[in-house]
Structure 1
Amino acid sequence: MAVNPPQPGVRHPRMGMRTVLTVLGPALAFAITTVDPVLLTLNLPEISRGLHVPPAQVGLLGSAATLVVAAAVLAVGNLGDSYGLKRLLIYGLAATIVFQLLAALSPNHWFLLAMRFADGFALTALLGLSLALLTVSVPDEFRPTAIGIFLASQATLYGISPLLGGWVVGAAGWRWLFVITPPLALVALLLTARYVPDPPRRPARPVDVTGVCLFGLALLSLVYGISAAQNGFASPRTWVPLVIAAVGFATFLWHERRARHPALDLSLFTRSDFVAATLAVLTFNFLVAGLGVILGRFGGLILGLPPRAVGLLYLPGTVLLAVTSVLTGRMVLRHGARRVLLTGLLVMIAGGLVVAFGASPVMALWLLILATWLINLGSFVTATPASDTILARATPADAGAVAAVQPTFGMTGYALGPTIYILLLNLFFHREWVADARTAGESVQQAQSGVDAVRSSLATSPGTPKFDPNLVQQRTGLALDLDYTNGVRLTMLVVTLLPVAVAILVFFAMPRRRRTRK
């Protein structure tokens, strides 16, 4: 039976308080999946010092939960359809509370790593089931507004949490960092248990374990191969995992086409608007995740901003982001998903271009805040119409499986963002200082020795590491601060091509008017 979604330009009834409370529980659960990794990554130096984490393990510690989510979220949607979306979401919230509190008691970094992997499975439930529960708990005419409430909660906590985390760590120590999300999870659990109806379940069916494992193996291999590419593409450490990733993704698609109960229903991608929406989800997660790399490295090395000041970059405009997230749902109702989606992508493009053309060793702080705000604003505006387009294909029988597409592509973009940004930044920085050395009449070997000496001094200097222009000139004769800034500019220019390409696809692939959902 066809369900007619709300048409643009038609006035619809307002949401009552009970409906708002129905949305708020899953919305807080969804927001936790953003707050958790942000709190961890921005405070990794303090955690690493506190637990004496080896340098080779820091990256794994920071990405452990995210990689688990990206690999497992396809399975949790199918499990929710069979065993209960509400039940599994409550279990996930309870597990998050337990694993976070255990992480606060970590005696060593191996225990904390185990808790991060375990919490990744809990976060998978929060991310993969909250949107699905929204789909079956809220009438169609309220869905865009409800998604706006989801994103408003996320925007508010996303803007506040970096500052809150920095303050808590500075005042009480890094262990208290893991006490921030449990109260949020408890409130989400109580609201979900009290106000969210328990949707009907379909008969239990086997989980596509093979498909989930193939996707996880391919994604992990891709991330590892891209990370290793900094040491050269000819190295077996680079091309072997990249080949494994290519074979893994190809085998995954082959398997999904033949599986009786696939983890990812490929028939969903026969519609161009669905493809455009999923690529938009991947894009804004990719840009937001990579932005953290740029802010941390450029802000610290070149502008000399301490970690707490970097966290403050997210705070300005937080209230406006939250309000915009709610209003975006109404904009989708009035103007359709296509126009709003294009607007969000264009705003993200503007934010990227601000850094690409405005970055300098003496860049004004307000300009960096503007770029951060524009990229975050564009991501929140993009998320509502993209999520609504994806969820419009869901029915009560497969809400979990369809809704899982959004976090699958989102977490894939989030996992790839930092890796690709770091790769591009290092490649462009290397190209810049090599050209600088040749202009100065130095050999590449001599310049490399000077760059290594400066890097060593940064690693051993107290306080915030920062390129000291006097030290740079004395040790190498090179303008490494300018070279690094040019690397940042080129990186942002290249990655901004992605939302440009997706905007072109959206313009031609998505209908000007919302179609009837079948």
Structure 2
Amino acid sequence: MITLDTSVVTIALPRVRDGLGLSTGGLAWIQNSYMLAFGGLLLLGGRAGDMFGRRRAFTAGIVAFTAASLVGGFATSGWFLLAARTAQGLAAAVAAPSAMALIASNFEGPARVRALSVFSAVSGAGGAIGMLVGGVLTEVGSWRWVFFINVPVGVVLALLAPRVLAETARRPGRFDVAGALTSTAGMTALVYGLIRAGSDGWGDARALGAFAAAAVLLAVFVAVEWRARQPIMPLWLLTGRDRAASYLVLLLYVAGIFGAFFFLTQYLQQNLGYGPLRAGVAFLPLVGLQFTTVRLVPRVLPRTGARPLVALGTLLLGAGLLWLSQLSAGDGFVSGLLGPFMIIGLGAGLTILPLNATILASVDPEHAGAASGVAQAMLWSGASLGSAVLVAVQGSREDAMSGIDAAFAAGAVFAAAALLVTLVVMRVRG
């Protein structure tokens, strides 16, 4: 449901902009408010699962997510929707780490890889279904229904969770509120600065002030985590070579691919004149190939190890984004988008599962919640950072088409950085 919510809203963004009178920067904040709250508080959410029981945290997060979705569907202004999206992110931050940690604590060895494969495949399916459902609901009804659709799903999940999920043992402790607040505030300041710079120039006083605040807050976050008895992000999680590399590659990879999705959705609907439904269908080659590939990776991973698969996946993402950076106003779907979509889908299927498997294999089960929380924090922080950077790059160009091409090229730079880290730092085979 969490993955579906991201894609189902993405496909509806042009209608949201028209309905609420938002600018491109304001539209980006509809996504970024969700991702920042989600990414910034995932670590705290993982800690909540450890302290109160992962099933309890999972269920509470789903209930809150459902309520926020209902409120978002009734939004009458940009700020109203922004608040609802932030609440959704907070709720998702509680539910998501417990979902992944429950998988990690119930499976070991090859069985864990297979379980993570199913987890990744379902996430990919959620993305595909979200594009289609978002297109249908937006075209037949209204963009508001992309939020209302979460309500029946959330109710079913909340009712079934106590019946089918076993509760985990509680581990008493305390919340690292200072760490959660400084990390979230720091990332928010950084993304705000990037979006402000994209719309008002890199010399804008507010943008520069936001960058300075981000540097201070993130430095304070590291200092807080260094001294905290029970930090939300134990710094030792970033010391293992392969684990640290996996975290960094995850952040860079998602920054490239998610930022590109923001502009692909708008290109399909504005430049090609697609309606929301047709735009959703257009993404099927990408997400379908991702879904198929990720189900095959568990058979290959034990023989090749994680590094070759991640290297190939990041290389394919960079190639696909470079291809997209050559788009022109006269290109159609087949000539301009189909090839890059298939390359990117294949790359995504090869990359995410080996990274998650490497991270979870490097920690004991009792630390699975913290490790998975950091992984998802990197993922969603990367998504918000990538979107902000690509929006800033696009906004720096006067011509709309050249701005979109420049944004895709910037996404390719993120992919190239991920490939470099994979080749230079990663050493793991399994």
SS of corresponding position for 1:169: helix
Question: Using a 3 Å threshold, how does the CA distance of structure 1 residues 187 and 384 change in structure 2: closer, same or farther?
Answer: farther
Of stretches 231-240 and 372-381 in structure 1, the one that deviates more from structure 2 is 372-381
Aligned to 1:311: 280
Of stretches 327-336 and 69-78 in structure 1, the one that deviates more from structure 2 is 327-336
1:493 aligns to 2:409 (yes or no):
yes
Can you list the C-alpha shifts for 1:207-233, whole angstroms capped at 9, x where unaligned?
A: 111111111111000001111112222
Q: How does 1:110-509 map to 2 (within 5 A)?
A: 111-189=80-158, 192-202=161-171, 204-230=172-198, 231-357=200-326, 359-366=327-334, 367-427=336-396, 429-430=397-398, 480=399, 484-509=400-425
CA distance in 1, matches of 2:402, 2:66: 43
Q: Which runs of 5+ in 2 are unaligned?
A: none
**Matching residue's letter, 2:413:** L
Q: CA deviation at 1:315?
A: 1.5
CA distance in 2, matches of 1:191, 1:380: 29
Q: Indicate conservation of the 8 Å contact 1:200/1:396, yes or no.
A: no
Q: 2:9 aligns with which of 26, 40, 44?
A: 40
Q: Indicate conservation of the 8 Å contact 2:297/2:350, yes or no.
A: yes
Aligned to 1:73: 42
CA distance in 1, matches of 2:286, 2:341: 10
Q: Greater Rg, structure 1 or structure 2?
A: 1
Which structure dedicates a bigger proportion of its chain to helix? Answer: 2
Question: Using a 3 Å threshold, how does the CA distance of structure 1 residues 490 and 160 change in structure 2: closer, same or farther?
Answer: same
**Matching residue's letter, 1:385:** P
1:64 aligns to 2:28 (yes or no):
no
CA distance in 2, matches of 1:421, 1:125: 28
CA distance in 2, matches of 1:298, 1:405: 33
CA distance in 2, matches of 1:313, 1:201: 45
CA distance in 2, matches of 1:491, 1:387: 27
Q: CA deviation at 1:238?
A: 1.1
CA distance in 2, matches of 1:38, 1:346: 24
CA distance in 1, matches of 2:16, 2:408: 29
SS of corresponding position for 1:400: helix
CA distance in 2, matches of 1:490, 1:106: 33
Question: Using a 3 Å threshold, how does the CA distance of structure 1 residues 140 and 86 change in structure 2: closer, same or farther?
Answer: farther
Q: CA deviation at 1:84?
A: 0.5
Q: Indicate conservation of the 8 Å contact 2:120/2:353, yes or no.
A: yes
Q: Indicate conservation of the 8 Å contact 1:313/1:372, yes or no.
A: no
Q: CA deviation at 1:243?
A: 0.5
Can you list the C-alpha shifts for 1:72-123, whole angstroms capped at 9, x where unaligned?
A: 1111111111111111101112222233234334566655443322222211
Identity of counterpart residues, as a percentage?
Answer: 28
Q: Indicate conservation of the 8 Å contact 2:50/2:369, yes or no.
A: yes
Q: How does 1:23-38 map to 2 (within 5 A)?
A: 32-38=1-7
Q: CA deviation at 1:394?
A: 3.1
**Matching residue's letter, 1:69:** F
Q: What number of residue pairs does the alignment pair up?
A: 427
SS of corresponding position for 2:394: helix
SS of corresponding position for 2:59: helix
CA distance in 1, matches of 2:160, 2:182: 36
Can you list the C-alpha shifts for 1:238-268, whole angstroms capped at 9, x where unaligned?
A: 1111011011111111221121111111112
Can you list the C-alpha shifts for 1:322-374, whole angstroms capped at 9, x where unaligned?
A: 221121123222321112211211221221122134x1222231231331332
Q: Indicate conservation of the 8 Å contact 1:394/1:403, yes or no.
A: no
CA distance in 2, matches of 1:326, 1:337: 15
Q: CA deviation at 1:289?
A: 1.6
Question: Using a 3 Å threshold, how does the CA distance of structure 1 residues 414 and 507 change in structure 2: closer, same or farther?
Answer: same
Q: Indicate conservation of the 8 Å contact 1:298/1:485, yes or no.
A: no
Aligned to 1:464: none
TM value normalised by structure 2: 0.91
CA distance in 1, matches of 2:272, 2:138: 23
CA RMSD of aligned residues (A): 2.4
TM value normalised by structure 1: 0.76
Q: 2:53 aligns with which of 73, 84, 107?
A: 84
Question: Using a 3 Å threshold, how does the CA distance of structure 1 residues 507 and 109 change in structure 2: closer, same or farther?
Answer: closer
Question: Using a 3 Å threshold, how does the CA distance of structure 1 residues 238 and 99 change in structure 2: closer, same or farther?
Answer: closer
**Matching residue's letter, 2:404:** V
CA distance in 1, matches of 2:103, 2:348: 20
Q: CA deviation at 1:306?
A: 3.9
Q: Indicate conservation of the 8 Å contact 1:212/1:263, yes or no.
A: yes
SS of corresponding position for 1:174: coil
Of stretches 484-493 and 258-267 in structure 1, the one that deviates more from structure 2 is 484-493
Aligned to 1:97: 66
Question: Using a 3 Å threshold, how does the CA distance of structure 1 residues 246 and 295 change in structure 2: closer, same or farther?
Answer: same
